Structure 1
Amino acid sequence: MKNILLIGLMAVMSSSYADDVSAGRAKADVACALCHGPNGVATLPNAPNLAGQQAFYVSEQLKSYRSGQRQNAVMGVIAKPLTDAEISQLAAWYSAIKVTVELP
């Protein structure tokens, strides 16, 4: 019985996560892609790559911009209207992008 409940809970959580990733991608296409690139690889030299960042990190940075604790003229405007749900969705999207690293 416990296994069935655990499997059901995991299915709900994974479908919810997939929904967050999908919603986050849609939001990123509108609000983030111009500077951070359509796949989280920055197109501007002063914008960081977001692809592969940990969800917690993306979330905390967006919340800091939204509150004004972290200052940036562009990000302050972008983050101000974001809801907690939208921030979670964006964090899910960027953390879901797989990045590979090659040593020199």
Structure 2
Amino acid sequence: MKGRAAIVLALACAAGAHAQDAAAGKARAAACAMCHGPAGIAAAPDTPNLAGQPASYIEEQLKAYRGGSRKHEVMSLMARPLSDADIANLAAWFSSIKVEATAPK
């Protein structure tokens, strides 16, 4: 039982070390607004909406662009200078935006 408690405590501490800051992400997202919109809803049909996406998905995609395993001329350049904290903060911001959908009647 002690071993499990230590593992849980270690995981909790590790998670806290990478705390996401949505306010910092919102400030950093100003550079994203041109394509993805100021509230994460893109105007162009070929640009994805980021509002309401799961933080883990946004983080994974930005890291893939940054690392080169996912390629896009603009996104690869935009993601390259982002730190892990920047990515976590951007993900926190975009995932915190609430999106409502209504089915047509």
Q: TM-score range by the shorter chain?
A: 0.7 to 0.9
How far did 1:43 drift? 2.2
Name the SS of the counterpart of 1:34 in structure 2.
helix
Q: String of CA shifts for 1:24-64, please: whole Å, max 9, x gaps.
A: 000001x2000000000002221100000000000000000
Contact 1:34 1:43 in 2 (8 A): no
- Counterpart in the other structure of 1:97: 97
Determine what percentage of the aligned residue pairs are the same residue.
Answer: 55
Distance in 2 between residues matched to 1:33 and 1:44, nearest whole Å: 12
| Structure 1 counterpart of 2:55 | 55
Q: Which amino acid aligns with 1:41?
A: I
Moved over 6 A (4+): none
| Bigger Rg, which one | 2
Aligned: 1:74 with 2:74: yes
**CA distance in 1 between partners of 2:28 and 2:43 (Å):** 17
Distance in 1 (alpha carbons) for counterparts of 2:41 and 2:70: 22
Q: TM-score, normalised by structure 2?
A: 0.79
Q: Within 5 Å, which residues of 2 pair with 1:77-88? A: 77-88=77-88
Aligned position for 2:22: 21
- For these two proteins, the number of residue pairs brought into alignment is 88
Unaligned segments of structure 1, at least 5 residues: 1-12
Q: Which one-letter code corresponds to 2:84 in the other structure?
A: D
Number of the residue aligned with 2:46: 46
Q: Aligned with 1:39: secondary structure?
A: coil
Task: Kindly provide the amino acid, as one letter, of the partner of residue 34 in structure 1.
Answer: M
With structure 1 as the length reference, what TM-score do the two structures score?
0.80
Structure 2 gap segments, 5+ residues each: 1-15
Answer 1 or 2: which has greater helix percent: 1
